[in-house]
Amino acid sequence: MKNDTWGRVKQQLLESVGRNNFANWIEPLELTKVDNGVAVFSVPTSFMANWVSRNFADTILTHLKAANAPASRVEFKVAAHQPQPATSEPKPAAAPVVAPVEPAELPGAPLDARFTFDNFVVGKPNELAHAAARRVAEGGPVTFNPLFLYGGVGLGKTHLMHAIAHETRTRNPELRVLYLSAEQFMYRFVQALRDRQMIDFKQIFRSVDVLMVDDVQFIAGKDSTQEEFFHTFNALVDQGKQIIISADRAPGEIKNLEDRIKSRLQCGLVVDLHPTDYELRLGILQTKAEAYRAQYSGLQFADGVLEFLAHRISTNVRVLEGALMRLFAFASLVGREITLDLTQECLADILKQSDRKVTVEEIQRKVSEHYAIRLSDMIGPKRVRSIARPRQVAMYLAKQLTSRSLPEIGRRFGGRDHTTVMHGVRRIEELKGTDSQIADDVEMLRRALEA
């Protein structure tokens, strides 16, 4: 077979496999001979030989036959002068045909075994992101590509990506799933450039079935990394492979990211993880506390502590988790029950940082309005229930929503003693469990004060 026949076949292959596949896998092939019906190609690396043989041998043979080439089989031989990539299997010396080798190991980051769908608590702020992640993890035809997840710090982007990877691997163990951060992508790229291993780099990244790149904003402003990322992205999308990307903001808002990349990233489904709300924070705390309780068996937990933390700690789940972990460790060290007081003592710094700045005076005002009593009665001496109960509700909310100590709250309620405040707080905690009217009032007031 003449080389111009191979030239014509290549033209047809370009159309049938697409531009990116052609550039990556077909263009580097060199037809060395056709012998006894076997078309022998020389390829630069054994990884490539293996990949082309698995994915393109039939297509190449079909086109060769269509061009009347006397070939009934194709073989791919590694060119002797090319250095072998460190990740490929050594080639048996006597075998001219490439022995089947395992695909090169993927240069991904390890997955956190705890970041599964089962451990992910779903609430209004993250339900869409969770549903999209589940959909992608189920596999099947690629419906949106890429899936782009974005949101503020510590809201679960990495958790969801790892969950997709775990689930995909469980459902389809044969799929090549690669998860890494954008920083690691850049590091691998720079390393490949330095070691003149770009062919291997491209081959490995173009051979995955699912690519996940976390914190993509990191490559903004890094021109050659962006360029390589763009080509990798296109090559995979052309092959119908799934891509999942995360960032701290929407694609259009990432500064110094090339426009063509922004527009690619917007092509699929873009979903955001909203800041957590009270219900989601409480759900997460309950799930994690359950796990800690099992770990620190025997540790007692007073009612209202988780609710207090869910009220008081900001939107960031990582901080919430850290607080809970510290609380359990502290309580087990000192051998005390986890009460509201212990919580405030142990987490004073975290609570101060995420103080919502609701004042005791505001609370008194809102509660007085709600129960239609005079503000002066709130801090005055009257002890009738119609006044004392709203006062206790206000004390409870002051304890929940501010970082004031019991004596400080007492002073703001007409100079009352801290034991009176403590009694009031406990009374409302009890009533919340038995009196739905009180529970509703407290909840409604809390929402109004936090709005």
Ligand X SMILES: Nc1ncnc2c1ncn2[C@@H]1O[C@H](COP(=O)(O)OP(=O)(O)OP(=O)(O)O)[C@@H](O)[C@H]1O
Residue 154 assigned as binding residue = yes
Closest residue to ligand X, based on beta-carbon distance:
156
Residue 157 assigned as binding residue = yes
**Shortest distance in whole angstroms from residue 307 CB to ligand X:** 18
- For every residue of 111-123, DSSP letters joined together read PPTT-SSTTPPP-
Cβ partners under 8 Å of residue 337, min gap 6:
299, 300, 301, 302, 331
**Shortest distance in whole angstroms from residue 156 CB to ligand X:** 3
Beta bridge partners of 30: 42
CB 40, CB 6: distance < 8 Å: no
Binding site for ligand X (CB under 6 A): 115, 119-121, 126, 151, 153-159, 248, 284, 317-318, 321
Q: Is the CB of 215 or the CB of 362 nearer to ligand X?
A: 215
Could you give the 3-state DSSP secondary structure of residue 28?
A: coil
**Six-digit token string for 111:** 């997955």
Residue listed under structure tokens 């359990």: 328
Q: Is the CB of 199 or the CB of 306 nearer to ligand X?
A: 306
Residue 158 assigned as binding residue = yes
Residue 156 assigned as binding residue = yes
Q: Is the CB of 121 or the CB of 409 nearer to ligand X?
A: 121
Q: Is the CB of 208 or the CB of 282 nearer to ligand X?
A: 282
Q: Is the CB of 169 or the CB of 274 nearer to ligand X?
A: 274
**Shortest distance in whole angstroms from residue 139 CB to ligand X:** 22
3-state helix/strand/coil string of 307-374:
HHHHHHCCCCHHHHHHHHHHHHHHHHHHCCCECHHHHHHHCHHHHHHCCCCCCHHHHHHHHHHHHCCC
Widest distance between CA atoms in the chain: 108
**Shortest distance in whole angstroms from residue 350 CB to ligand X:** 15
Q: Is the CB of 154 or the CB of 424 nearer to ligand X?
A: 154
Q: Which strands form 30-35's sheet, in the order they lie side by side?
A: 30-35, 38-43, 73-78
**Shortest distance in whole angstroms from residue 162 CB to ligand X:** 8
**Shortest distance in whole angstroms from residue 328 CB to ligand X:** 15
Q: Which residue ranges make up the annotated binding site?
A: 154, 156-158
Q: Which residue ranges make up the annotated binding site for ATP?
A: 154, 156-158
